[in-house]
Amino acid sequence: MSARNALFIPGPSNMPDAIRQAMDIPLEDQRAPDFPQFTLGLFRDLKKVFKTEQGQVFVFPGSGTGGWEAALTNTLSPGDRVLAARFGQFSHLWVEMCRRLGLEVDAIEGEWGEGAPIEAYAERLAADKDHRIKAVLVCHNETATGVTSDVAALRRALDAAGHPALLYVDGVSSIASIDFRMDEWGVDLAVAGSQKGFMLPTGLAIVAVSPKAMAAAAEAKSFRCYFDFADMARTNKEGYFPYTPATTLLRGLRASLDLLEREGLEQVFQRHHRLAEGVRQAVAAWGLKLCARHPRWHSDTVSAIVLPAGFDSNVVVRHAYERYNLSLGVGLAKVAGRVFRIGHLGSLNEIMLLGALAGTEMALADQAIPIELGSGVAAAQAHYALPRQATHVFPRRAVGA
Ligand SMILES: Cc1ncc(COP(=O)(O)O)c(C=O)c1O
């Protein structure tokens, strides 16, 4: 295959050169006296991305799944009751993890393609008069279906019920790409991973913890060792870690935070929205539908696109890879074979995405899916280009002027 693979899966995302170069360094001494000068700034700036002043952010070697486990095992005891909704593969896997860790899960079965069922959460919280539910879990951006949920509304439901449970948010495919407000939304545990909005290689599980969750950690009885918040908090205070940190990735994280800060978080969110909207226009122009059933759930980091009956999305994704060196996301679990996904998160601009849309169109057309070549690209271009000024005529310069 010639040239570089076009990576349009919903994470890992494209890595900017500034991050790659920041990691092209000799290995370093994680106990050096000047190491904290570097790490303390990282902890400070990570808090801005989570929009928390009160919370504490821990960076573990791991991936998003490790972050889930850290959040649960530090704050809950075996047998504790957890309220969670399943409406896609990632919310499903988090529920499965709870069960494997010996927690008792009250699982709300949501529809794949819909957002977190806030009303169902509210009903169960209101009914839980003796506050047996200790934890409420929600997946902010369900990467399997391309659905973003309303975390603030879930916080309102908790408050309306006067319920003291901790609020846990999976922000693996939202944080640093889609607006997320830890303090304002009263989130107690927020989980992110390095390979999506942070544009880094996989390898860091980033977990933000509220003071209330830290207090719960002091009482919680679940076994934990490697992911222990207390060990992290004790050593992080001085700028160090309880074991060898992934220093090279931390250098990349510094570059990532600098990039996010330079662009401005709000601009990063707006860029994701504009790019995502172009993809949605393309999908409409192809005559296809998103898995997300209502615009209020449209994800700005990933679009899951449903193929007409009789076509296999796995064949399209495989063909896109083999013929055009374009990586698209497959459909997962319940929607395997029916859905394919375009990841549009991280370091990305219009031109890159138009290339991906052009490749997707060819892969669809090659598999006899009835779309018109160029239609999606044109729709996205119309969205990305400056507004047309039909009456504007450029003045001609006089010859010799
Ligand atoms: C929403 C969400 N949660 C959790 C995970 C699991 O993260 P990881 O694969 O980094 O362990 C993913 C991975 O894609 C995800 O998209």
pLDDT of 394 over the 80 cut: no
- % pLDDT > 70, the chain: 97
- What per-residue confidence (pLDDT) applies to 398? 57
Residue-wise pLDDT for 334-354, tens only, equals: 999 999 999 999 999 999 999
Q: Which residues pair with 191 in a beta bridge?
A: 170, 207
| pLDDT for residue 401 | 44
Write the residue with the smallest CA distance to atom 16 of ligand 1: 143
Centre of ligand 1 to C-alpha 284, Å, is 27
Q: Is 172 near ligand 1, meaning CB less than 6 Å away?
A: yes
CB atoms within 10 A of CB 289: 16
Dihedral in degrees, nearest 10, Cα atoms 259, 13, 73, 182? 40
Q: What's the mean per-residue pLDDT of the chain? A: 96
Q: How far apart are CA 170 and CA 72, in angstroms?
A: 12
> What pLDDT, on the 0 to 100 scale, is given for residue 29?
98
**Residue 278's pLDDT band (boundaries 50, 70, 90)?**
very high
Atom of ligand 1 nearest to the CA of 11: 14
Q: What is the DSSP letter of 325?
A: -
Residue nearest to atom 7 of ligand 1 (CA): 64
Residue 172 C-alpha to ligand 1 middle, in angstroms?
6
Q: Return the closest-CA partner of residue 344 out of 380, 314, 294, 315.
A: 380
Of 125, 216, 91, the closest CA to residue 166 belongs to: 216
**257's tokens:** 């935070």
Q: What is the pLDDT of residue 396?
A: 60
State phi, psi for 292 to the nearest 5 degrees: -65, 125
CA distance 250 to 244: 12
Say whether pLDDT at 193 is over 50. Answer: yes
Phi-psi region of 218 (alpha: psi -120 to 50; beta: other; left: phi over 0): alpha
For the sheet with 189-193, list strands across it: 56-62, 203-209, 189-193, 166-170, 133-139, 81-86, 104-109
What pTM was computed for the model? 0.96
Collect all residues with Cβ–Cβ distance below 8 Å to 71 and sequence separation of at least 6. Answer: 168, 189, 191, 207, 209
Ligand 1: which atom is nearest the Cα of residue 67? Answer: 11
Asked if pLDDT for residue 224 goes beyond 80, the answer is yes
**Ligand 1 center to 55 CA (angstroms):** 22
Q: For residues 164-175, give the mean pLDDT.
A: 98
Token readout for 261 is: 């800060």
How many angstroms separate the alpha carbon of residue 120 from the centre of ligand 1? 24
CA distance readout (Å), 270 to 51, 176, 265, 300, 383: 17, 12, 9, 9, 14
* Paired residues of 148 in beta bridges: 141
What average pLDDT score do residues 65-78 get?
A: 98
Rounded Cα gap, residues 340 and 256, in angstroms:
28
392 pLDDT higher than 90: no
How close is the Cα of 65 to the center of ligand 1, in Å?
Answer: 6
Q: How far is the CA of 355 from the centre of ligand 1 (A)?
A: 26
Cβ distance 313 to 341 under 8 Å?
no
Check whether 2 has a pLDDT greater than 80.
no
| Residue 12 confidence (pLDDT) | 98
Residue with tokens 């662009």: 263
Question: Does residue 139 have its Cβ closer than 6 Å to ligand 1?
Answer: yes
What number of other Cβ atoms are within 10 A of residue 207's Cβ?
29
Q: Which two tokens stand for residue 394?
A: 């450029």
- Is residue 12 lining ligand 1, measured as CB closer than 6 Å? no
Which positions ≥6 away from 241 have C-beta within 8 Å?
A: 30, 39, 232, 235
Across 53-64, average pLDDT? 98
Please report the sign of the dihedral spanned by the C-alpha atoms of residue 306, residue 312, residue 314, residue 315.
negative
67 CB less than 6 Å from ligand 1?
no
Closest CA to 229 of 104, 73, 115: 73
Per-residue burial over 95-126, b = 16 or more CB atoms within 10 Å of its CB, e = otherwise: bebbeebebebbbbebebbbbbbbeebbebbe
Does the CB atom of residue 63 touch ligand 1 within 6 A? yes
The pLDDT value given to residue 387 = 87
Please write the tens of the pLDDT for every residue from 13-30.
999 999 999 999 999 999
Residue 310 has pLDDT above 80, yes or no: yes
The response to whether residue 65 sits with its C-beta less than 6 Å from ligand 1 reads: yes
The partner residues of 136 in beta bridges, in order of sequence, read 83, 167
Ligand 1 mean position to 185 CA, how many Å?
22
Per-residue pLDDT, 331: 97
Question: How would residue 110 be classed by pLDDT, with cut points 50, 70 and 90?
Answer: very high
Give the three-class secondary structure for 249. Answer: helix
Confidence category of residue 391, pLDDT binned at 50, 70, 90: low
Question: Is the CB–ligand 1 distance for residue 75 below 6 Å?
Answer: no
- Report d(CA 186, CA 184) in Å as an integer: 6
How far apart are the CA of 173 and the centre of ligand 1, in A? Answer: 7
Q: Is 374 exposed, middle or buried (0-12, 13-18, 19+ CB in 10 A)?
A: middle
User: Would you say how long the chain is, in residues?
Assistant: 401
